Amino acid sequence: MGLPDLVVPVREGANNEPLRYALRSWTANLPHRHVWIVGFRPWWAAGARHIPTQQRTTPGYVNTTTAMRAACEHPEVSDPFIWCNDDTFVMAPQPAPLPVFHRGPVRELNTQFGPRSNAYLAEMRRTRDFLVGLGYEDPVSYELHVPLPVEKSGMLLSLEAAPGHDAHKRTVYGVMTGIGGTQMRDVKVQRRGPQFDTGSPFLSTTPDAFANGAVGKFIRAAFPEPCPYEAGRRG
């Protein structure tokens, strides 16, 4: 079997510098065949393949769920493919096939977050209750900011089973299809300061941390050269 495609959902907005550097990092370190941008393709990313989708401004994850389904149903996207995000950077060479990673049992995350409550945590708990109700006694979370290998039929079945588009679809897919994997800490860097792991093979940022923080400077310095997916601009 050949190398998998990379699939990345992108919301509207031409000025997406994190995507530019994510593409550079994937070109350097993540073996793949093609990159598919699902949703909005910035003008400068003409080298990537494109699946347009109708985007909604409603809160929640409807756009990423739409993108995931579109990728799974597209006959030219490889099966399996690797699901990425436009704020996920691969900082070191990865093997092929790419290993699967998870975040550990949801019950442990629930303990770590304590009494805090927001939409993400509420959906994390709802997704766990859903999976426990199906008989998965101690489900693990796959909600990491790292690339995830996806098998099309398994993901489509998981999307059909999941309780709404806001469900943690990576987790539903990983648990229901039994993909296993290795536990790791999440790599999301939320702040501008230098307190992040410069040796991590993966990094992810918030928009502010990328634009104004030490982590963004570190990522931009690591990948100064344009990649084949860029067009119309140097540097």
Pairing mode, strands 188-189 and 202-205: parallel
Q: Which residues contact 146 (CB under 8 A, 6 or more apart)?
A: 88, 101, 184, 187, 202, 204
Q: Would 229 be classed as within a structural domain?
A: no
Q: Would 231 be classed as within a structural domain?
A: no
Q: Would 35 be classed as within a structural domain?
A: yes
Per residue in 48-105, pLDDT (tens digit) is: 999 999 887 766 688 999 999 999 999 999 999 999 999 999 999 999 999 999 999 9
Residue 235: is its pLDDT beyond 80?
no
Q: Would 232 be classed as within a structural domain?
A: no
Per residue in 138-183, pLDDT (tens digit) is: 999 999 999 999 999 999 999 999 988 789 999 999 999 999 999 9
The domain containing residue 108 runs over which residues? 6-222
pLDDT of residue 59: 60
At CA 64, angle to CA 63 and CA 68, rounded to 5? 120
Mean pLDDT of the chain: 94
Pairing mode, strands 148-150 and 81-83: antiparallel
Q: Would 141 be classed as within a structural domain?
A: yes
Task: CATH number of the domain at 184, please.
Answer: 3.90.550
Contact 67, 39 (CB under 8 A): yes
Q: Would 234 be classed as within a structural domain?
A: no
pLDDT of residue 234: 41
**Which tokens in the block code for residue 162?**
């999941």
Q: Whole-model pTM above 0.85?
A: yes
Closest CA to 31 of 204, 149, 125: 149
Taking residue 102's Cβ as centre, other Cβ atoms within 10 Å add up to 23
Query: How far is residue 51's CA from residue 24's CA, in Å, rounded to a whole number?
Result: 20
Q: How many domains in the chain?
A: 1
Q: Would 61 be classed as within a structural domain?
A: yes
Residues 122-134 have a mean pLDDT of 94
Contact 29, 57 (CB under 8 A): no
Q: Would 228 be classed as within a structural domain?
A: no
